[in-house]
Structure formats: structure tokens, C-alpha cells
Structure 1
């Protein structure tokens, strides 16, 4: 495009020169005719109406009209100045240029018509002509202020006129306005310089060859690659710049491009100027002129050595990843955010009871429905992934193909777009059922009595503290009941520890059968039990429960074909009636228990702080 614009600019300059030459010719003709017609005709008085004349006068009048029309039709500003520097002839284009009428121009000098600086430049040209010997034509391009504030680029052409005796009688002037042309030329030069600068900053190798394979232009990157200056590349062929094998490869691509007249792409190994090998990717395009004639080839080459090495490394890494993925002993998978499996390995398929990874991907359409026992766990997982990006050691209940349930452990990573949108989920999963059950068993043993399954002393104390803290906020009542079996030692001694253990288990069951979900029963050790009642209505409700336990435990127990009978003594304290701290409530309930034991056993008794104080 820049080349076409430059050619267009050159054509405009040529047109300006031709226009100026024709204007000079016509003005010289007009002046010559004026001289031939005599003094009256020379200054062209304006004929404002038709006058019928005869003979020579009629001929002169007709000549005046012809010459006047020629002057008026000439588009370039024309003027004729006598040897004294006064304007004697000007066409309408000249009047428009200076912004004055004919009456304001005729008989005036340049000083009277133009602003000072423009008048000075024009008078200098006139002086150069009038002081020269022989025929003289002077052409200059001036930047003139033709009117106040109106500055123009003007090509001024002036020529001396001499009579038959060689005497100078005036100067012809032609003014060609080239302001727009010069502006376009400056823009073209700026655009060309910008294009050259841009191409030189491109790291790719850019070049232009003619139809014979000779380099005509290149950018700095190409010259550096060839190991020489840009001007040293111009005029040389591939065989002068590269080794024969590389040059032959380049020429083969040139021939292919010119034969098909279509862009071509090739990769070729070359040797850089420093001796190191480089893999080049070259794109070549045929360059056609405005008339469709072949000018040559434009090419862009890019060093893709590092990119190819990276691609190779990525392929190798993908092979390693694929091998690990396919042969890992843990289940590996990738799913969409909607729960559709995109890929699973063999271990994953076997873990969930499928014959192959392909079968699992095709069968499981929604992991939230088909894999997760509780779909809300999957929803919670998605929310965490959106916020955190990674989830480690997630635990959830999973469903196998046959409907059986297992505990699954998973670590997940969300894959996002550059805009942060979650597009897939990758993870590793394994069956941790045995581990979860083992941990659950250990936790249960740490918090429960191993024989009866009731809470142990530690859980009892922790729960009491929690109930009291909540009671302080809500005002709910909490009751503490301490229990000790009556007659248990005799059964244990008579029938043995196994029967005694069976009896303790049955006692725990009867105690729990009277409790609500908000209450707690615990075995404190031996034949001692304790109960926490949450949100009891008052003393009467506690008494009712205590009596129920007394009645339930007074009935016989069938223990390994042995009928056993025991009783129970119960001591009770209530928060806030008897205190609001755990130590006080436990102490008062324990003393009430032993007071009940001393009074005859087989019943319950409430705490009596005053009696305890007297003791």
C-alpha cells in the first residue's frame, strides 16, 4: 500500500509540472498576442458589452475576446508584470488566490498585493530574472502567506519576456498550489517511516524478493539472522547468504509459491550466524502489482526452535502423565462442574464396580446422583472449589454400581479459565471405609464405656459443662442424677463376672429407655451410673424419672439363664435450685445418693445443701 501511495504522489508531482508548463505556454501566448495587437490591446481593457466594429478594429476586438476567455479558463493563477514590477495582467484564479479584485491588482506591485514576507520572496525571484542575461526561467517552491493567515505551499514559475529586439518588457508568473500534494507526500513519508520502523521492531524475519529470487528488502531481524547488515542483504540471493542445502530448500518453496500463486508454509532446519541450529517456520506469499503483474515474494520466517522443544517436552510429559494416570493404584478422574465424568482410570472404574473406564464414563451421567449418597455433599464440594480452588482429604459416602455404600476419601482441584470460570474438576479418590470405621471405633472407645456402650466419665463431665453454659444463657433447668446398684456385689460374687457384666449391660439399657434424645446416660465405673436431664420442668419431673428408674431396675433380669434382682439408690441435684457449677451439682448429687443408701436403699433423694452444711 505504501508503494502505491508513493507512486500516486509521484504522479501528482508530474501532473503539477505539466500543469505549470501549460500555464506558462498559454500566458506567454496571451502576452505575445497582446504585444502584437498594440498598446491598447496589451493591457486587456474589460469588454463589458458587445460593440459592433468593422475592419481592423473588429479583428482586434475579437482577438481580445479570445485571449480573455483563455485567461479565464486557465485554472492556475497567472500574472504578467512589466519591467517596472507592476502587475499588468492577471486571471480570475490569481484574483481568488490573493483575495483581491482586478481593480485592486492592476498597476500594483507585489508589495501592494501580498503580505510582507510573501512579497519579499516574490520580488527576490523577479530581481534574479531581471538581472540575468539571455532567456531565463526560474522555478521555486515557496511557502507563501498568499492572504493574511492563509499559508500555502506554492510552486512559482517565472519567465522573462523579451521583444523582437531582445529588450525585456516583463515577467510571466504562474502559481501552482501544491499544499495538499505536499501534505499527502509528508503523510506518505511518515507512513513509510512508520511501516519501516514497525517491521524493524518485529522479532520475526521479514523480507521481499523479486521474481528472480534476489533480495530487495528485509528487516533488521532478518539481517541479524543472516549475519550481515540490511544493505548487504539487498541484491543478494539465498545461495550468497546461506549454505547450499538451506538455500535450495528456500528456492524450492519460492518455486512452489510462484507455481501455485498461493501462500506456502514450510519448516526447515538452518544454521544461525553463531553456528547453532534453528528450526525456522517460513510463510511466503506472491506479491502482485496494481496491474496483476508479478513483483516477487514477501516472506515472514519465525524461529520456532524453542517452541518445538516445548511442544516435544509437553508431549513427553503427557505420555508420562497418561502412563501414571492409567496405571495408578488410586482412582483418578476428571469431571465437568455438572458432574459428568470426562475421564477415569482403570482403578477408578474397578473401585466403583465397572468393567472398564469407558463403561464408567458412558454409564455415570450425574455423579451427584450416581456416586454421592448425599447430593448435598457434592453441592458443598462445588461451593468450596469455587472459593478455595483445592480441597484436600474430603470424606463422603459413595455408592458403588451394585448399590453398596463405602466411605470415599478424595482430594480435588478445580480447573478454571483465564476469566476464573470453573470448567472441570480433577481428583484422586480411594476407598477409606476400613480407616473410617477404625477411627470411629477408636473415637467411640475413647468416649464410651466399652462394656455398656454408655458415655464414659469424661463425656459426662464435658456434657455437663456444656449444658450448664447453655442453661446460663437460656435459663433452662439441668438435673444431675447419680445412681449406685444395690445388691450387685452379691450377684457378681455368686455367678461370676460374666453374669455381672451381662447385668450391667441390661441395667444401662433400662436406664436409657427412659431418656429423651437431649438427655445423657453414662457409666462412671463398677456399678455406678449417672444421668443428665436437659430442660426439665422442675423437681416433680426429676422425681418422676427417678422413680421410673427405681421401678424398672427392681424388676428381675435374665442374665445367661440366671435370674438376677438388684435395686438402685439415686441422688439428684438441680440447676439452678442447688447450684450452677458442675462441681457443686456433682458433689450434692453424690451425697444425696449415699444418704439414700444409709436410709435403706431402693429409692431416690434430692440434694439438701443445709444438711450437707451441718455435716
Structure 2
């Protein structure tokens, strides 16, 4: 147990949540509604009885609800019933759909999902329960973000379709292989594709003549039992894989084949033939591979470059062995603020704001992890950074093992998302942390303190006399005073501390890494002094005070919710004992009834 001053010495107050009827009658709620109208999210708050406390017009517009639905007290059930009646939940009995959603809502569990409305709008819905019942929900239109992601996937889906078609054909042939051996042999010999079947030991079971012709292999290599390694060594010795140590090239490719992974790539042979190679692992081990001559579709590198140069995405090809760039389209060069010639023969990792992050991404790709639509920062013009969605594809280019990287600049979307995340965690009036961020920060702080046996204090602060000031001078002046008090709190705290606005004229402070209980009391007294200084605006001078309740993590059950409740109790006791003071929580306070 940490030593604490006796009751009557410094502490903090904060009142617990008032009854919902009192909240809705509070004049400050009208001010909150005004603030919500400037947020580009739909926002709703329902009380513990599932009746609407507040929502903004953006919510009504997003969900196509009539204005009358935004009235305080509208039952949650009514929203669900309208949705069910107009088919928002798909086909089914409307009453059953309403009942199921009401049962889920009454559980007051955090939730997050996306839903596509009948008009095609995609909404991200995030709900958080309130400590004393009810919940707050945000509705974000993510239609444009999803459309951008769909555009990136579209090109890949078209390519994957061809692979799926060939794979389905190969699986069907495998199923019929045992009973149609002779017919299959005839079929294989008349195929325009080369085809091979290797077993789980990477030994050849069957191939057709077209495969030997396309790869220019001698007849003896088509015999059953020829090891996969022999084909790789034959290729390496004649320079199919470019300059380098033959044994290292063979070992690398055998190791990749032993992973039995599906693969698809294109390779340019020394004679200029372009082959599309597609491999599919078999359920019992081994794999089937097809070799298709696509030279007519890739007659020259100029045609390939023309395709990439007309892409709306940045495209860059770099060697997997040393990460040096051997091709870039104009779009990627412009993103980096360089010319194409500037980029050639430079390392791709140096085009990233943090090269170490890029190196980790490459290692994940080497290990077989798909790299698709990964968010990472690149170096842009004039030293600025931009956010890119990057995708890696294995690509044989100029007889070298390379990576074709696609980059989509989504800096603006990233900034919008960052802004929305900030709004979700901060009070829009004062800029302080909101209750959600306060709870998360306190959970982390208590976990860290438990590991090092540290002292944490929670201060609950209620401004004395604010309601009278707000009624007398109006909400605009009241809002200014709240912002001023928030600024004073932040200026008085250490960098490691956190100040939050709970609601109305209530604030909370988390003090971490205290040397002793006296540090908490000293900070409380300091805050009392700074909050009681006169407020001067346009020759109007006013003065408020504060009552503060303090709770310490001095017991095993001192979790975040408990400490907030204890500090709240202590604040009310301080208010009863004359206001303008601070009190530490004592067990005898826990039975107090709040005013």
C-alpha cells in the first residue's frame, strides 16, 4: 500500500455520470450538437434504455432518415424497424431482423463492421459502450477508399482468372489420370503447351514433347525419374539464369521448389522466347507445371514498357538479389521527384523514407509472405515523404530474378484517415484526450506500473462555479473558459502525464511514474492554483475554482475503472467540504451518494 495523507488533506473531485434526463437537459448538450455538425462522420449516442441522446445531421443524411428521427428519445428499435422495412438487412422477416439487432444492442459490446447500403454506399460502423450504459457509434463513408483498393485488385484478378482456369483443367486431368493414361498421353503430345508432372521427391513422372521443345532439353531428360535438380543445372550451365555461381543458382531454385507453393511468372529465354510458367501443387505432394509460349504477346521489352508507362500506378522493377532498380515508369519517377535515369541502378530501399522498413518488407517477401497493398512511406520531391500502397510480384526480367513493384500514392486518403482517428480520440472543443483515449492510456499506464511496482495517480477535476458563469455570460464565453482551463492543465503537466475532458466542466489527469504520494498532492495543489487564476477576455474578468479527487493504484484491484470511480468519489467529498480543495480517496467515501 502506498502511503497517503489523512482524509481532509488534498484530493480531486469529479462527479459520476448524471442521469440521462439531466444530460439531455444540460445546456452544454446543445453546444455539443453544434460541434457534431462540423464532423464529417455520422455520430449517435444512445442511453442505457436504447433511446437517442444525440446525433448529427451527417448521420441522418448517410442513413437516409427523416429529420424527425434525430429527436432526443427516439427509440433505437425505430431505426432498426425502418432499416428492415426498406431491405437494409436483406431478405427475411422484418420483425425477426429487428428483434435480433435489439438483442445484440442490449449486450452493449464494442463492435466494428462495414455495411453496403442499397445505394452502393459503403459505411464503416464503430460502436463503443458507455461506462454506465448506452453506447456511442460513428458512421464513416469509406466508399472511395474501398473503390481505390478495388481498382488495385482488378488488374490482378484478371490475371488470376487465367491461372484458376488452367489450375481447374489440370486438377480434372489429375483426377482422371489413373483410368485414362493412354488417352492422356495422346492428349499431352498434341497440346500446344509444355506440361510436366513432378512427384513429392521432385522427380519427373511425366512430360510432353512440347515441354522439351520449348525448353530445348535433350530427349533423355524427358525420361521418368529425372530429378528436378537436373533441369535446373542444365539451365544454369547454359546461362538461363544469368551470370553467377551455378551451384548456388541450382540450390536456390531447388529450395524454392521444395516449398511446393503455387507460382506463376514469365521468363525470357536467351533465344528471345517468352514463356508463361504456372505451377500448382498437388494434394498428395508434387506439382503440375505448364509452359506456354507467349512470345507474340511480349514481342519486345518496348511493348512491356509501354504497358507499364501507361499505368496510373507507379511501376518499378528491381533485382531481388541486390535490390537495384533496372526499370521505372515515368509515374514512379515523378512520385519520387526524380527522372527515370536518376533511379536506374540505385537500390529500391533508398527510395523509402525508412530504408530499414523496406528491408524488412523484402525479407518477408523472400520468406514467401504475399506483399499486397502494404502501407509504407516513400521519399518524395524536395525531401518530402508520401504514403504508398505497395504490391510485390515475382517477375523474371532479362533472365534475372526480379520483383515488379506497383505503388499507389494514397497520401491524401492517409491524411483523411489520420484526421478521423484524431477526432475519434480527442475532445473537439479543447483538443484534450476524450474518455476513450483516457481509458486506453490508463490501461497501458497501469500495466506498465504493475511490472515495475510504480505509482500512478488519477485526478478527477470539476470546475467550481462554471454553471453559473455559463448561464450568465453565455455558451460562447463558457466554451472559451473551458478551452482556457484545458490549456492551463496541459501547461502545468509533465510530458508523460495525460489530461482529458470527460464532459461538461469535468476533466481527468493521469500522473505516471511518481516518486511518492506527495508528488500527486503537489501536482493537485499546483493545478488548483493555476485553475483559480482570473480569466480575462475582452475586458471581462471572471474567476473559477476547482475541486479535485485523487485515487492511487495502491491495491491489487485498482484497475482503470476502479481508479476513475475512486477519484470521482473523492472529488464529490472535496466539493461537499467546501470546494476549492483536493482530497485523496478513502474507503469510507465509497458509500457516499453523489449530489
TM-score relative to the length of structure 2: 0.47
TM-score relative to the length of structure 1: 0.45
Structure showing greater radius of gyration is: 1
Q: Answer 1 or 2: higher relative contact order, Cα 8 Å, separation at least 6.
A: 2
